[in-house]
Structure 1
Amino acid sequence: MRVGASRDEAEATPVAPDTGTPRAGTPPPTALTLRALGLGSLIGALMCLSNLYVGLKTGLAFPAALIACVVGLGTQRALLKVSPTRFGPALSLQETSAMQSAASSAGYSTGGTIVTASVGYLLLAGHHPPVWALLLWTLFGSALGVVLALPMRRAFIQREPLPFPSGLAAASVARSFHAGDEAGQRGARALGMGALGAGLLSFMRDGLQWLPASLALPGAVLGVPLAGLSFSLDLTLMPLGTGALVGLRVGASLLLGALVCFGGLAPWMYEQGLLTQTGFFGVLEWSMWPGAALVTSASFTHLLLQRGLLRRTFGSLLGTSRVPDEAPDAAGAEVPRSWFLAGVTLLSLGLVTVGAVAFGIPFPLGLLGVLLSFAFAAVACRATGETDMTPSGPLGQVAQLAFGVLMPGNTLANAMAASLSGNIAASSADLLTDVKAGYLLGVRSRQTFLAQLCGCIVGSALIVPVFYLLVPDVSAITEERFPAPAGFFVAGVARVLSAGLGSLTVAARWGALVGALLGVVLVLLERFAPERARRFIPSPIALGLAFALPASMSLSIFLGAVAAALLARTRPAFAEATTVPLASGLIAGESLVSLVTLLVLSAPS
């Protein structure tokens, strides 16, 4: 699930579309320098590991363009203070855009396969696929998403300029940092303080073990202790940063879902004998079904209500007219058509070959999946451009359902098929978000494209081996270590498609039915309820996700969202400059230190 506060950030700091846009006959400055790619690769590697950790912990993912820009610029400012001669001069605006493109590609585009299909494969098979297979699958999928976005650039950024809020916000933040104004300085300080504080807390908790991981909450519900229902106070700052980014509505929806599921339904069902055991995974055996049904039905209903989305998407792609004020690219700015054709051909053949050899996906069905990916990528790019929300989850579920019908009984192939279209769509949307920022800063699309491919290589080469180290086997998927809710959804749907609904318990079937209906109702209320009432309607995606997260995680995310909302109300200017950098620092600091600690502690084994 991709969420974030970047749309609000974009609206708070608008960027004039014509500022920084290359004029006809004026070649844009060079962006693709070695230092820009080097810093982008470094930041992308850190973001890649951070998003892997957050994804395994919460199932959430964030628009990477804005965070990559903030973290990259904050890091460079810190390096310049250490040694201005060695690390100077400061990156230009164009180099900043290339740095951000490489970092966001490595940090976001390669992670979808890992936290969804790869965890699902592990849960279904009991072991990992070969390292080479997952590495190539991740690399080819993310790179194909980058390539498929190329023909959409002119349609969604020049011919019909969609806002792409994260891209607008990233360009605005880059200008703020480069101007050296007070907002940029506050952002850099907040980023550093957040990373340092979260890292120290994580080291004391996980490394030195001076602090417990959580404090159990006293009390019980229907005789079941709250601790046995996964209610506790986590001594961690990462979920607080997550809550600040997702916003109050999502945070409150997560808490509401946790209270309904773990605080109400679970103890009642245990008392009635409908649950055989408590504890997070005891409840999850049932709760994943209403949660998955709610998320899936809400996602599909939202797409169906956007009746003009497909028409606008493919109308823009097939259109040939050019808007009157569209500035032509400088010579050499566009990606050559031959690059697109060669990339699509080679990467598609690579994907279907790996799918056939390693995952049992027949070659013709693999080609069908690639063809579907182009349509899904177009829809994802359009939706991201309009709303800043990438529907990679529901698009992946469409692929999973399609492959479940075409390959009945093949659960492993079905799980991997879920990642094919969803991951490619996410990569395409991420590219266009970076292209939007680069376009506003005067960067050639060819340079953004190459920076994105560089990020795909860096992210894939790093995220796969680290995933194998962090999750060596199924025993690592635990409430305390990695709940991995997205992987449970994929594995559960694959099992049901293979065995049929009759394989579920009566309680699970009723839960799935109620969850599916609730998802539809909530989306309809979001769309048609009076304006004043809409802000009180829970987010159906967050509500469903709470059924697959420990209640303590939902509680922590809610507290972070409340803190950010209070800061925005009491000190709006300060909050605008510091919320995203501080939250990014909390997430990056804790996740990276925790990752290093886990790797060091597991090294002897």
Structure 2
Amino acid sequence: MLSIICTNSMALTSWVPTGSMSKITQFTMGAIDRTNPASNLIPAAMTAEIAGNAANLLSDIKPGYMLGAKPRQQAVGHVIGIFAGALACVPLFFLLFLPADASGVRSVERMISDQFAFPAALQWKGVAEIIARGLTALPHSAVVSMVVAAVAAAAIEIARMATKGRFGLSAVSIGLGVVLPPEATFAMFAGALLFWIMGRRHPEKGTRGHEFWVEGLEPICAGLISGAALMGIGNAIANVLMN
């Protein structure tokens, strides 16, 4: 079920809400055992990775098919990436997020900082605390917001079903805009608005403007996202090594 939801979100928004979907498993397992946070965090992390990778694999099939790659080849590539990612991520995790202090001790208490805020990890921690302490630990405004969001999402989906998909609003998109950091939401809005305007200005196929702004939309966006991520990681590694 979570894989279907993530796949639908990928098709509608090109974003996989793995963190939000994992809360379903976290609450379910937390209802069984409230005393041990690991009993709800570990299953939630596993289901999030399974659902997220299922949606990501499906999003790779179409461009791979356009380039002549077979789905089996892409699945093999994902399996290779599991081992390559583990070999690369584990050393980087200790180097960037869990460095040793002057006495050689590594402490998770110093992981959260201004440079690495870990908003998703804080959400998981907050949910685990709610499971252990109950909803009484939540502010009243948070409970009201949850109820309003649930009612609004149901109303939007009913309207989409009644209009056979012609209703303009998307509950998944609005939900992602609330969960994501503001800078990511504004960047997505600004990029979508820019390419929409340029697409209206260059509607003729075969022109240089249409090839760049319309047909080159995906490569430009992918390059910006990948470049920003690689530059951020490289800058963080350089700062750690220089210090």
Spell out, residue by residue over 1:403-441, the C-alpha distance to the aligned partner (whole angstroms, 9 max, x if none).
Answer: 112221222332222111121122233334445555666
Distance in 2 of aligned mates of 1:411 and 1:517:
29
Q: Select 1:467's aligned residue among 77, 81, 93.
A: 93
Q: Give RMSD over aligned pairs.
A: 3.4
Distance verdict in 2 for CA 1:476–1:519, change over 3 Å: farther
Distance verdict in 2 for CA 1:476–1:501, change over 3 Å: same
Q: TM-score, normalised by structure 1?
A: 0.33
Q: Select 1:527's aligned residue among 141, 158, 161.
A: 161
Distance in 1 of aligned mates of 2:160 and 2:109:
38
Partner of 2:231: 593
> Would the aligned equivalents of 2:16 and 2:52 in 1 still touch at CA under 8 Å?
yes
The equivalences for 1:297-312 within 5 A come to: none
Partner of 2:35: 409
> Would the aligned equivalents of 2:6 and 2:16 in 1 still touch at CA under 8 Å?
yes
How far did residue 390 of structure 1 move?
Answer: 5.2
Distance in 2 of aligned mates of 1:432 and 1:590:
24
Distance verdict in 2 for CA 1:570–1:423, change over 3 Å: same
Q: Select 1:428's aligned residue among 43, 54, 79.
A: 54
Q: Select 2:142's aligned residue among 496, 502, 508.
A: 508
Q: Select 2:220's aligned residue among 582, 586, 604.
A: 582
Q: TM-score, normalised by structure 2?
A: 0.73
Spell out, residue by residue over 1:90-138, the C-alpha distance to the aligned partner (whole angstroms, 9 max, x if none).
Answer: xxxxxxxxxxxxxxxxxxxxxxxxxxxxxxxxxxxxxxxxxxxxxxxxx
Partner of 1:359: none
> Would the aligned equivalents of 2:30 and 2:131 in 1 still touch at CA under 8 Å?
yes
Distance in 1 of aligned mates of 2:64 and 2:183:
40
Distance verdict in 2 for CA 1:440–1:553, change over 3 Å: closer
> Would the aligned equivalents of 2:40 and 2:128 in 1 still touch at CA under 8 Å?
yes
Distance verdict in 2 for CA 1:568–1:484, change over 3 Å: farther
Distance verdict in 2 for CA 1:514–1:567, change over 3 Å: same
Partner of 1:492: 126
Partner of 1:27: none
Partner of 1:567: 198
The equivalences for 1:21-420 within 5 A come to: 376-377=2-3, 379=4, 383=8, 392-393=18-19, 395-420=21-46
How far did residue 376 of structure 1 move?
Answer: 4.9
How far did residue 602 of structure 1 move?
Answer: 1.9
* Residue 542, structure 1, aligned to residue 167, structure 2: no
> More relative contact order in 1 or in 2 (CA 8 Å, sep 6+)?
1
How far did residue 501 of structure 1 move?
Answer: 0.6
Letter in 2 for 1:406: I
> Would the aligned equivalents of 1:477 and 1:483 in 2 still touch at CA under 8 Å?
yes
The aligned length equals: 225
DSSP 3-state at the match of 1:414? helix
Q: Select 1:518's aligned residue among 152, 161, 174.
A: 152
Distance in 2 of aligned mates of 1:575 and 1:592:
24
How far did residue 490 of structure 1 move?
Answer: 1.9
Could you list the runs of 5+ residues in structure 2 that have no partner in the other structure? 99-107, 204-209
> Would the aligned equivalents of 2:177 and 2:185 in 1 still touch at CA under 8 Å?
no
> Would the aligned equivalents of 1:380 and 1:428 in 2 still touch at CA under 8 Å?
no
Q: Identity across aligned pairs (percent)? A: 24
Larger-Rg structure: 1
> Would the aligned equivalents of 1:383 and 1:389 in 2 still touch at CA under 8 Å?
no
Letter in 1 for 2:220: L
Distance in 2 of aligned mates of 1:517 and 1:497:
23
DSSP 3-state at the match of 2:216? helix
Distance in 2 of aligned mates of 1:441 and 1:597:
33
How far did residue 467 of structure 1 move?
Answer: 3.2
Distance in 2 of aligned mates of 1:542 and 1:376:
16
Distance verdict in 2 for CA 1:483–1:433, change over 3 Å: same
